[in-house]
């Protein structure tokens, strides 16, 4: 009786052990099945490979793993990194590492400063040449140095001309004859008057002043020499006259320039001509006077463009008290464009990726999600460029590290096929997905065997 109770207790213990072991084995098998199911469903979804891109950032891609000409493996692009619509998705840690910075597109005043270089030149309307209309000789020079300042009416030289002396004597004879025949017949008075008038007109045609003619009448005798006077205030730029020389009619003897006003001729590049207009204010700086900033206005835009430099000349007229500004001095010119009252949608210059045939900006759609947009650009100025189409006001565009995003996510391929597969004209490789799944399944199987 006692022995049978012991056997009964041992049997119950065995049954309990068997039951517990079976339960434990069942749980283990269930865990393994769950792991296999999880590995078979979720792993391919998170590791889905769309295609393989060139490791050097070139636009060629492959649906299967391959190497480039240097033996480098092509880099897989996963579904989590790029969307089917051409948008680019980059993990937030990569965004931070790349230093991506954005700025919203906004309406700004379309202001641009055009910079040019210029050179001071004489005011052509204030140039004077001293010459004669008769032949003669220079007896004496009163102004005998280049650069010498002169005043209007100041004596320049004394000249002798046989023709001038003869004309004076003819006029005196006619004048004196008219006075002596005052009581003569009407015909004689008319003849003498015509002779006197003809001699007087001849002297005036030779630019003999009325003061000199009055002195001729008063003195009653011809003078051997005639004084030539300065026609304007200024400085002597050129002096061809030499004491004792013979001169011919029309030969220049002095060149005098009035420097109280001066021209600045600036060269403006062809692409900036639309920003320049008559009456526009300019700021001028001269190396000789760095502490002074001059201002002026554009008075004239020349009608031609230089074929060598592709620049057009604009003229700024400046007052020059004291002759501070010298001809042929150089100056730097800043022209503020006349478009300041116009507002346009603008983005920073750095936001534009220009391939030469198209211009693209990266628009941030969400954190780590970027969309390339082809844009049409307008006028540039002060670090910004006007966007005609492609971007709306308020949209954030990438202004730094956009070239790094281009290299990181094979942006050129995405831009090359908006709305298509990111890898060129190929459709999304169907064979690439099973290959990626097979790779992931084999990896999971190996993990199971390790367990």
Read off the tokens for 285: 């700086």
Alpha carbon of residue 167 to chain centroid: 65
Question: Pick from 56, 49, 47: which is nearest to 412 by CA?
Answer: 56
C-alpha span between 323 and 358 (Å, rounded): 53
Asked whether the predicted pLDDT for residue 202 surpasses 70, the reply is yes
Contact between residue 335 and residue 113 where contact means Cβ atoms under 8 Å apart: yes
Q: List the chain domain ranges.
A: 1-82+425-451, 85-109+343-420, 114-124+258-336, 132-251
Question: Pick from 52, 143, 81: which is nearest to 423 by CA?
Answer: 52
Contact between residue 228 and residue 157 where contact means Cβ atoms under 8 Å apart: yes
Q: What is the mean pLDDT of residues 310-329?
A: 93
Alpha carbon of residue 301 to chain centroid: 18
User: Phi, psi at residue 160, to the nearest 5°?
Assistant: -120, 135
Contact between residue 37 and residue 29 where contact means Cβ atoms under 8 Å apart: no
Asked whether the predicted pLDDT for residue 441 surpasses 50, the reply is no
Taken as a whole, the chain contains a residue count of 451
**Which has the higher per-residue pLDDT, 137 or 51?**
137
The one-character DSSP state at 82 is B
Read off the tokens for 332: 């730097």
Instruction: Give the count of beta carbons closer than 10 Å to the beta carbon of residue 340.
Output: 12
User: Phi, psi at residue 55, to the nearest 5°?
Assistant: -70, -15
Look at residue 185 in the predicted model and tell me its pLDDT: 65
Q: What is the CA radius of gyration of the chain?
A: 48
The pTM score is: 0.57
Q: What is the mean pLDDT of residues 96-123?
A: 87
The continuous run of DSSP H or E covering 211 comes out as helix 210-219
**Which has the higher per-residue pLDDT, 12 or 288?**
288
Q: pLDDT tens, 424-437?
A: 434 433 333 333 33
Q: pLDDT tens, 269-287?
A: 998 888 899 999 899 999 8
Give the pLDDT band (50/70/90) at residue 96.
confident
Counting residues of the chain whose pLDDT is more than 70, the rounded percentage is 72
CATH architecture of 85-109+343-420: Beta Barrel (2.40)
**Weakest-pLDDT range from 126-130, 347-351, 446-450:** 446-450
Asked whether the predicted pLDDT for residue 126 surpasses 80, the reply is yes
Alpha carbon of residue 384 to chain centroid: 12
Question: Pick from 388, 391, 338, 328: which is nearest to 364 by CA?
Answer: 391
**Which has the higher per-residue pLDDT, 318 or 172?**
318
Look at residue 347 in the predicted model and tell me its pLDDT: 92
Q: Which residues pair with 405 in a beta bridge?
A: none
Question: Pick from 215, 172, 208: which is nearest to 192 by CA?
Answer: 172
Look at residue 207 in the predicted model and tell me its pLDDT: 82
**Weakest-pLDDT range from 101-110, 151-160, 301-310, 311-320:** 101-110
**Which has the higher per-residue pLDDT, 138 or 180?**
138
Fold observed for domain 132-251: OB fold (Dihydrolipoamide Acetyltransferase, E2P) (2.40.50)
* Sequence-distant (≥ 6) Cβ neighbours of residue 244 within 8 angstroms: 137, 138, 139
- Residue whose entry in the numeric block shows the structure tokens 């004491």: 243
Asked whether the predicted pLDDT for residue 76 surpasses 50, the reply is yes
Look at residue 214 in the predicted model and tell me its pLDDT: 83
**Weakest-pLDDT range from 139-148, 176-185, 262-271:** 176-185
Contact between residue 415 and residue 363 where contact means Cβ atoms under 8 Å apart: no
* Sequence-distant (≥ 6) Cβ neighbours of residue 179 within 8 angstroms: none
Q: pLDDT tens, 239-273?
A: 999 999 999 999 999 999 999 999 999 999 998 88
C-alpha span between 79 and 64 (Å, rounded): 15
Q: What is the mean pLDDT of residues 343-366?
A: 87
Asked whether the predicted pLDDT for residue 451 surpasses 50, the reply is no
Look at residue 383 in the predicted model and tell me its pLDDT: 83
Rounded mean pLDDT of the chain? 78
Q: Map residue 279 onto helix, strand or coil.
A: coil
Q: What is the mean pLDDT of residues 37-59?
A: 60
Contact between residue 213 and residue 140 where contact means Cβ atoms under 8 Å apart: no
Read off the tokens for 379: 């006028």
Cα dihedral: 271, 275, 281, 282 (round 10): -20
C-alpha span between 377 and 74 (Å, rounded): 35
Q: Map residue 405 onto helix, strand or coil.
A: helix
Please provide the CATH number assigned to the domain covering 114-124+258-336. Answer: 2.40.30.170
Give the pLDDT band (50/70/90) at residue 130.
very high
**Which has the higher per-residue pLDDT, 252 or 368?**
252
């Amino acid at each position: 009786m006692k022995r049978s109770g012991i056997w009964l207790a041992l049997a119950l213990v065995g049954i309990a052990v068997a039951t517990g072991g079976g339960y434990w084995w069942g749980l283990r098998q269930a865990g393994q099945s769950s792991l296999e199911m999880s590995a078979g469903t979720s792993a391919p979804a998170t590791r889905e490979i769309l295609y393989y891109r060139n490791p050097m950032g070139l636009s060629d891609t492959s649906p299967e793993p391959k190497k480039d000409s240097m033996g480098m493996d092509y880099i897989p692009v996963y579904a989590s990194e790029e969307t089917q619509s051409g948008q680019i998705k980059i993990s937030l840690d990569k965004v931070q590492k790349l230093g991506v910075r954005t700025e919203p597109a906004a309406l700004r005043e379309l202001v641009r400063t055009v910079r040019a270089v210029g050179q001071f030149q004489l005011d052509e309307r204030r140039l004077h040449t001293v010459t004669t209309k008769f032949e003669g000789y220079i007896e004496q020079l009163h102004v005998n140095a280049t650069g010498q300042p002169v005043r209007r009416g100041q004596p320049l030289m004394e000249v002798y001309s046989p023709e001038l002396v003869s004309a004076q004597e003819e006029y005196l004879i006619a004048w004196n004859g008219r006075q002596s025949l005052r009581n003569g017949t009407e015909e004689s008075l008319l003849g003498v008057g015509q002779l006197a008038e003809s001699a007087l007109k001849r002297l005036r045609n030779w630019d003999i002043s009325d003061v000199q003619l009055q002195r001729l009448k008063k003195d009653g005798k011809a003078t051997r020499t005639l004084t030539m006077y300065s026609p304007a205030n200024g400085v002597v730029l050129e002096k061809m006259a030499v004491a004792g020389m013979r001169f011919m009619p029309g030969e220049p003897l002095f060149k005098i320039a009035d420097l109280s006003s001066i021209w600045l001729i600036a060269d403006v590049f062809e692409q900036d001509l639309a920003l320049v207009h008559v009456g526009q204010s300019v700021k001028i700086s001269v190396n000789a006077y760095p502490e002074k900033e001059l201002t002026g206005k554009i008075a004239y835009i020349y009608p031609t463009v230089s074929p060598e430099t592709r620049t057009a000349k604009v003229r700024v007229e400046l007052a020059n008290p004291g002759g501070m500004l010298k001809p042929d001095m150089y100056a730097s010119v800043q022209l503020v464009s006349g478009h300041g009252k116009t507002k346009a949608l603008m983005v920073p210059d750095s936001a534009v990726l220009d391939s030469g045939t198209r211009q693209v900006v990266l628009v941030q759609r969400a954190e780590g999600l970027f969309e390339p947009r082809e844009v049409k650009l307008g006028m540039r100025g002060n670090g910004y460029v006007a966007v005609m189409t492609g971007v709306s006001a308020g949209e954030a565009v990438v202004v730094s590290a956009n070239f790094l995003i281009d290299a990181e996510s094979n942006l050129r391929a995405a831009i090359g096929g908006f709305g298509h597969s990111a890898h060129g004209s190929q459709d999304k490789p169907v064979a690439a997905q099973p290959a990626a799944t097979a790779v992931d399944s084999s990896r999971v199987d190996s993990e199971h065997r390790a367990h």
